[in-house]
A and B are shown apart, each in its own frame.
Chain A
Amino acid sequence: MTTAVETIRDEPLTIGGRTFQSRLMVGTGKYPDMDTMVRAIEASGAEVVTVAVRRVNLDRSKESSVLHFLDPKKIFLLANTAGCYTAADAIRYARLAREAGFNDFVKLEVIGDEETLLPDVAGLLEAAKVLVQEGFKVLAYTNEDLVTALRLEDAGCAAVMPLASPIGSGLGLLNPFSVRTIKRRLHVPVIVDAGVGTASDACVTMEQGVDGILMNTAIAAAQDPVAMAQAMRLATIAGRAAYLAGRMPRREVAMPSSPTRGMLD
């Protein structure tokens, strides 16, 4: 028997010359403990895992680095510039991250507003241009704004990461039309980053045809993060499969599924 899954022809996701089998990327923040984080990452099937750059705690350095719990040989570490509010700060953090010696990829964030954590797109473009010049593979976290996405692609970004909704909000995909438009117009991979709350959000996001999805809080803040990680893995696969399958058109009126002929008099 041929199952639906066997009929799907998909290509692996390639970003900046690196190829990944999983279209789900996960963060490492806000977990109740490191053991839960490790098991959740495993359950998610993610290959790309984000980390942040912060000062070493001088009094107890051993337990604070996330690398004591993650094996960089098994996962692909994607450093972010989270918490940076200027292009200069983001560039500084990106350079420090690269110096750690794992890869030259960076998830570039330049935040413009404390309440919403929405991106400062002017600062983002400025930082992206500098970092691309320095040889970074820039994955730019941005608004779901087509023109900004196009400018980021023109600047040489390896991927563009429009948000589903604000970071940590769990509101899901607020603007499917804009995300679809960005995906349709860009040539580089489009990875939706931030805002999903549960598995259906991940599924709907992937159904838009985007190349991947990145999430942190939806898994880390679930009551059972490991179970939610598995749900997100399945939802990402399901959404991608549905996109590739091609959904039926929407109609405003019903259409019977059973024959209208052959009814009894």
Chain B
Amino acid sequence: MDVVINGERRQVTPGASLLEVLGQLKLDPRAVVVEHNRRIVRRPALGDVKVSEGDAIELVHFVGGG
């Protein structure tokens, strides 16, 4: 199943939760903030939200800036 993560089309396991998507990408859920179809999903809820075909997921963190 295809979803769009940070603007890139990516394959994820059908029916996966956001937490499982992070696991597939080897990302620590404590180190990223997740936006799912323009809605922020808080860390404790990541395991409860399932992704669907074509969903837009943004994974952000802090980088150097002024």
Contact = CB atoms under 8 A, between A and B. Distances in A.
A67 B31 contact: yes
Given A28-B65, A29-B65, A216-B66, A53 B60 contact: yes
A80 B66 contact: yes
Interface stretch (A1-9, A10-18, A94-102, A174-182): A94-102
Contacts of B7: 55
B27 A77 contact: no
A52 B65 contact: yes
Interface string A66-79: 11000000000101
A56 B60 contact: yes
By secondary structure, the B interface counts as strand
Contacts of B8: 58
Interface string B1-44: 00001111010000000000000011100011101000010100
Interface centre among A53, A77, A99 (most CB of B within 10 A): A99
A37 B64 contact: yes
Interface residues of B, number: 23
A31 interface: yes
Interface centre among B33, B40, B42, B66 (most CB of A within 10 A): B66
A193 B27 CA distance: 34
Given A30-B64, A51-B64, A80-B65, A58 B42 contact: no
Interface string A201-232: 00000000000001111000000000000000
A121 to B, nearest CB: 19
A54 interface: yes
A79 B62 contact: yes
B15 to A, nearest CB: 21
Contacts of A55: 6-7, 58-60
B66 A31 contact: no
A61 interface: yes
Nearest to A54: B63
By secondary structure, the A interface counts as mixed
A1 to B, nearest CB: 41
Interface centre among A52, A55, A67, A217 (most CB of B within 10 A): A55
Contacts of A198: none
A162 interface: no
A53 B64 CA distance: 9
Contacts of B32: 56, 61
Given A56-B27, A67-B61, A96-B35, A27 B40 contact: no
B63 A64 contact: yes
A27 B6 contact: no
Nearest to B40: A99
A37 B62 CA distance: 15
